[in-house]
Structure 1
Amino acid sequence: MRRLATLISVALTLLLLATHALAGTQLPPFSAKNVPAAPDYTEHASWLSLPENPNTHPVDIFWVYPTILHDDTHWLMPPDNTQLQKAAATSLTTQASVFSNQANLYAPLYRQMNMAALSLPQKDVESLISYGMEDVWQAFTYYLKNFNQGRPFILAGHSQGSDILIELLIKHWGQLGVEKNLVAAYIIGWSITPDDLAHNPALNMCKNATQTGCFISYNSVAPGKQSVAPTIRTGGIVTNPLSWTIDGGFVPAECNIGSVFFNDDGTTTTVPHFTSAQSKESGLVVQPADMKLVSIDLESFPEGVYHFYDYSLFYENIKQNVHDRIEAFTRH
């Protein structure tokens, strides 16, 4: 049975998590005192990003950052922790930059769960992630009521951010009254399955490069590594970011405008034609031209799982696609 995005009481969370110690982690047993205060989205401090001038672009982007919490102290990210805020902000200058130069960027802080929780039983994961889900839902509804002003918008995230987005959309999409304003939803680094679509027929996958109001999803892996990728769900529908189709066709590296890698010193390395792409067995199979550029995340994910590079591998193609979908939306 699919995971539903529901809040579970702190007492039940205590009972579940106290009995499951993670091997190799120094995290203390989870308890009510470990739960940070919820963000107050009426306060500027509860947002990772708010545009200085919301009229800079005719379109908004609502961004939910990926998992940046992997310490031995917090089960849930305290929204007021400045060090973790800085880590979350790196997603704005890397992944979200494909959108931010084309749309007004809104990004809430939220109580995301520690990546270590992925080793816990599913019920425990649901308990922890429910706090972040509630936060993102409160932020999104606050954004719609107070910031959006009827503008077209893009939804996007990565990893845990995408997981939270798709769960909330399965539960609420089609009931908000703003669905006609969606340019597209980039649910990257997580899977969308036929079961998800069956639970909410208002959701539909993008089938070409200029369709609007639709959803995009993929997880990058080396050939044969689909089964070890923790973000790939059985039956996941894969969007090929070189063709923007879901037909499973192979697209050669010549169609890759440019992969962009972000260096520690703030510079970038752009490599045209870096990888081909093909949907196979619920994953996006890629074949990078230079393995040195895609090797730094092997400690977090199994070798051959390029989760960290889902945006980088297709950066220029995503950027172009955002432009094309916005243009297509404004023509309608």
Structure 2
Amino acid sequence: MARKFLYAFAVLIFLVIAAALTFRLYGDQLMRIALVPSAAFEALPGVGARDYAKPGMWLARPDKPGNPAHWTPPGYKPTVKPRAAMFYIHPTSYLERARWNAPLDDKIANDRAALFLRGQATAFNESAAIWAPRYRQATFGAFLTGQKEAQLALDLAYGDVAAAFDSFLTQIGPDQPIILAGHSQGALHLMRLLRERVAGKPLAKRIVAAWVIGWPISRSADLPALGLPECRTADQAGCILSWQSFAEPADPTLIVDSYNASTGMSGKPRKGTAMLCTNPITGTPNATAPASANLGTLVPSKDMGTATIVAGGLPARCDPRGFLLIGPPPAQIDKYVLPGNNYHVFDYSLFWANVRADAARRLAAFEAR
């Protein structure tokens, strides 16, 4: 499986383009015709927690043969005795317009999701046993339209995520620390999961931290409803981290426009509110860090067949708007960058080694409480 680890960056060019358009309520007319489903929304039967007791419903779980979550670049190894359990929600990997939601057995979508998992969730495999469910994700055309079917598709996808999470809780230890992580569509579902399953519940005390990456979080319109504060210090546990990566000069107009037109998880408008920006190098908000402090970026080989860690290559700083800036476009990653110098698809891999160290540090802080 590791042989084509970053093949996703080559074969998922449409996903990369879609990520740039994620925050738009109305896309270009041609894009809508090409990508927004023309079929009627199908109200499919719900999937329950019992369904997720089946190993086949998971992209990754500790007992899965050939588990993609066990991949590491040279010089790193997954732990053999994980102290925490991690619930990871992958980004959009379904491209079709024949349906609003991906079938659970769609091999192409599942293979793509596994590739994303290797580039993102593996950063946590030193600290946690990783669980990543298959779910009937909304097709990425759902992010290009304001049709009611789009929200119905997202609701269906979230229903699967919630059921998987309920099953996850029954299958791990009753007191085991929990790490939460997601990206893009997965981060959107994770925000709702935090609001509905964690906020105000005893479970909140078991959360080591939540990495809600590649989706904007309003400090005033979202964060109060999520049940955890933002991470203010590098050794804080029970908190939320979030960032959106751009090289300079950055043009996040697409994100800002949609953000200002949207409503937060608290029901309040997001317009004009500050976005949460965690610097993944320092593990603190609104911070600046030099390239020398970057422990390692996950960089693909020229043939896209493998990946290695390159340390000290990229700086990072949170700008006043709440976006994470990485300086001039990095030479080691020169493909599949989105309009406006948006490095959305690389949000985790730009700081893979720092995310790994951050997870270990927060887990140690959690266990020391």
Q: CA distance change for structure 1 residues 69 and 205 in 2, over 3 Å: closer, same or farther?
A: same
Higher relative contact order (CA 8 A, sep 6+): 2
Pair 1:149 & 2:174 matched:
yes
Report which stretch shifted further, 86-95 or 208-217.
86-95
AA aligned to 2:105 is D
8 Å CA contact 2:252–2:340 kept in 1: the answer is: no
Q: Distance in 1 between matches of 2:207 and 2:257?
A: 25
Report which stretch shifted further, 183-192 or 283-292.
283-292
Pair 1:331 & 2:357 matched:
no
AA aligned to 2:289 is V
3-state DSSP of counterpart to 2:62: coil
- What is the CA distance between 1:73 and its match in structure 2? 3.5
Pair 1:226 & 2:252 matched:
yes
Q: Distance in 2 between matches of 1:65 and 1:32?
A: 22
Instruction: Output the TM-score relative to the length of structure 1.
Output: 0.84
- What is the CA distance between 1:35 and its match in structure 2? 4.6
8 Å CA contact 2:247–2:329 kept in 1: the answer is: no
Q: Distance in 1 between matches of 2:254 and 2:144?
A: 13
Pair 1:88 & 2:99 matched:
no
Equivalent residue number for residue 16 of structure 1 = none
- What is the CA distance between 1:82 and its match in structure 2? 1.8
Equivalent residue number for residue 267 of structure 1 = 306
Structure 1: any 5+ residue segments left out of the alignment? 1-19
3-state DSSP of counterpart to 1:138: helix
Report which stretch shifted further, 112-121 or 64-73.
64-73
Alignment of 1:47-196 (within 5 A): 47-52=58-63, 56-121=81-146, 123-193=148-218, 194-196=220-222
- What is the CA distance between 1:64 and its match in structure 2? 0.5
- What is the CA distance between 1:134 and its match in structure 2? 0.8
- What is the CA distance between 1:290 and its match in structure 2? 2.8
Instruction: Output the TM-score relative to the length of structure 2.
Output: 0.76
Deviations 1:284-332 (A, max 9, x none): 1112563451422x4xx42401000001111111111111111112222
AA aligned to 1:255 is A
AA aligned to 1:191 is P
Equivalent residue number for residue 17 of structure 2 = none
Deviations 1:242-286 (A, max 9, x none): 11111x232211111111124465421322222211112121111
Equivalent residue number for residue 38 of structure 2 = 29
AA aligned to 2:327 is Q
Deviations 1:106-140 (A, max 9, x none): 11111111112211017543222111111111111
Pair 1:311 & 2:322 matched:
no
- What is the CA distance between 1:161 and its match in structure 2? 0.5
8 Å CA contact 2:52–2:164 kept in 1: the answer is: yes
Q: CA distance change for structure 1 residues 111 and 178 in 2, over 3 Å: closer, same or farther?
A: same
Q: Distance in 2 between matches of 1:294 and 1:331?
A: 42
Equivalent residue number for residue 57 of structure 2 = 46
Pair 1:244 & 2:283 matched:
yes
Report which stretch shifted further, 151-160 or 80-89.
80-89
- What is the CA distance between 1:72 and its match in structure 2? 3.9
Equivalent residue number for residue 358 of structure 2 = 321
Structure 2: any 5+ residue segments left out of the alignment? 1-28, 65-78, 261-273
Out of 220, 225, 233, the position equivalent to 1:199 is 225
Report which stretch shifted further, 229-238 or 157-166.
229-238
Out of 287, 290, 296, the position equivalent to 2:327 is 287
3-state DSSP of counterpart to 2:279: coil
Report which stretch shifted further, 159-168 or 36-45.
36-45
Deviations 1:194-245 (A, max 9, x none): 2112335x32000111100000000001233222347984521100111111
Q: CA distance change for structure 1 residues 294 and 210 in 2, over 3 Å: closer, same or farther?
A: farther
- What is the CA distance between 1:91 and its match in structure 2? 2.2
Q: Distance in 1 between matches of 2:160 and 2:240?
A: 22
8 Å CA contact 1:219–1:232 kept in 2: the answer is: no
Equivalent residue number for residue 24 of structure 2 = none
8 Å CA contact 2:123–2:355 kept in 1: the answer is: yes
Q: CA distance change for structure 1 residues 119 and 32 in 2, over 3 Å: closer, same or farther?
A: closer
Question: Which stretches of structure 1, 4 residues or longer, exceed 6 Å deviation after superposition?
Answer: none
AA aligned to 1:293 is I
Report which stretch shifted further, 249-258 or 69-78.
69-78
> Number of matched residues?
308
AA aligned to 1:325 is R
3-state DSSP of counterpart to 2:228: coil
Give identity over the alignment, percent.
30
8 Å CA contact 1:21–1:29 kept in 2: the answer is: no
- What is the CA distance between 1:191 and its match in structure 2? 1.7
Q: CA distance change for structure 1 residues 278 and 131 in 2, over 3 Å: closer, same or farther?
A: same
Q: Distance in 1 between matches of 2:222 and 2:46?
A: 31
AA aligned to 1:49 is A
Q: Distance in 2 between matches of 1:125 and 1:274?
A: 39
